[in-house]
Amino acid sequence: GENVEQHPSTLSVQEGDSAVIKCTYSDSVSNYFPWYKQELGKGPQLIIDIRSNVGEKKDQRIAVTLNKTAKHFSLHITETQPEDSAVYFCAATQGGGADGLTFGKGTHLIIQP
Amino acid sequence: DAGVTQSPTHLIKTRGQQVTLRCSPKSGHDTVSWYQQALGQGPQFIFQYYEEEERQRGNFPDRFSGHQFPNYSSELNVNALLLGDSALYLCASSLATGGDTEAFFGQGTRLTVV
């Protein structure tokens, strides 16, 4: 089955700086890669996703890149703000979001004022 | 438009008991997936229901079972509870086919087994 590795487990950045979280996956048939943000006491919230026919996707301060050959994908957050502090999870699956997702272990992003 | 709703929000059960958790999907969604999230870990896929049948299953024992109703809502049942079943149980809904295939999560049910 699919295995997703996520790094780093904790990331502390100064407010206004950029943050990068990296994930690798093992199953070459995976074709859908969402990123979720989870705040304390809440369920994961989808923030951006990318499908295997696209190399990069951007939504305001958030971007995701995908390298299918190397089987890794990354989340980039620019101009970080205090409200970006949360745990971020990457995930992978085949068949889009309608199939079961395999998650990484999460990255605790801390934005220092 | 209500998102994914789960009940109850918190639950305390004794080892060996049985528990039922409930989920209502986002309006328009027909597929419900259940995940277990242990403290400090990522969610783990338990199973998925579509058209009232279990369509996919993760690596969880038969003590974990589920059901989907004609209105697409779903239940997760866990029998013979173990201390290790203590976790946040998340429900996610999605559309099996069509353009919107993203999975949206509820706020979860925090289960504590004592």
Tens of pLDDT, residue by residue over B3-41, are: 999 999 999 999 999 999 999 999 989 999 999 999 999
Residue A59: pLDDT over 60: yes
pLDDT of residue B98: 61
Length of chain A equals 113
Query: Measured between CB atoms, which of B42, B47, B107 is closest to A43?
Result: B107
Mutation target for B interface from A45, A103, A105: give the one with most B CBs within 10 A. Answer: A103
Residue B95: pLDDT over 90: no
The CA–CA distances, whole Å, from A35 to A47, A49, B1, B100 equal 6, 6, 23, 16
DSSP state letters, B1-55: ----EEE-SEEEE-TT--EEEEEEPPTT--EEEEEEE-TTS--EEEEEEETTEEE
How far is it, in rounded angstroms, from Cα B101 to Cα B94? 6
Length of chain B equals 114
What does DSSP assign to residue A98?
Answer: G
Closest CA to B34 of B82, B66, B11: B66
Chain A segment 14-53 residues within 8 A of B by beta carbon are 32, 34, 36, 41-46, 49
Q: Sign (positive/negative) of CA torsion B100, A1, A103, B4?
A: positive
The b-or-e profile of A45-55 (16+ CB within 10 A means b, else e) is: ebbbbbebeee
Smallest CA–CA separation between B42 and chain A, in Å?
4
Closest CA to A89 of A51, A47, A28, A50: A47
Query: Measured between CB atoms, which of B44, B48, B105 is closest to A44?
Result: B105
The CA–CA distances, whole Å, from A12 to A62, A80, B12, B46 equal 17, 11, 35, 32
Q: What is the pLDDT of residues A12-51, one digit of tens each?
A: 999 999 999 999 999 999 999 999 999 998 999 999 999 9
* Contacts B43 to A, Cβ<8 Å: 44, 89, 101, 103
How far is it, in rounded angstroms, from Cα B98 to Cα B15? 42
Q: What is the pLDDT of residues A70-113, one digit of tens each?
A: 999 999 999 999 999 999 999 999 876 668 999 999 999 999 99
How far is it, in rounded angstroms, from Cα A19 to Cα B55? 37
User: Is B103 in CB contact (< 8 Å) with chain A?
Assistant: yes
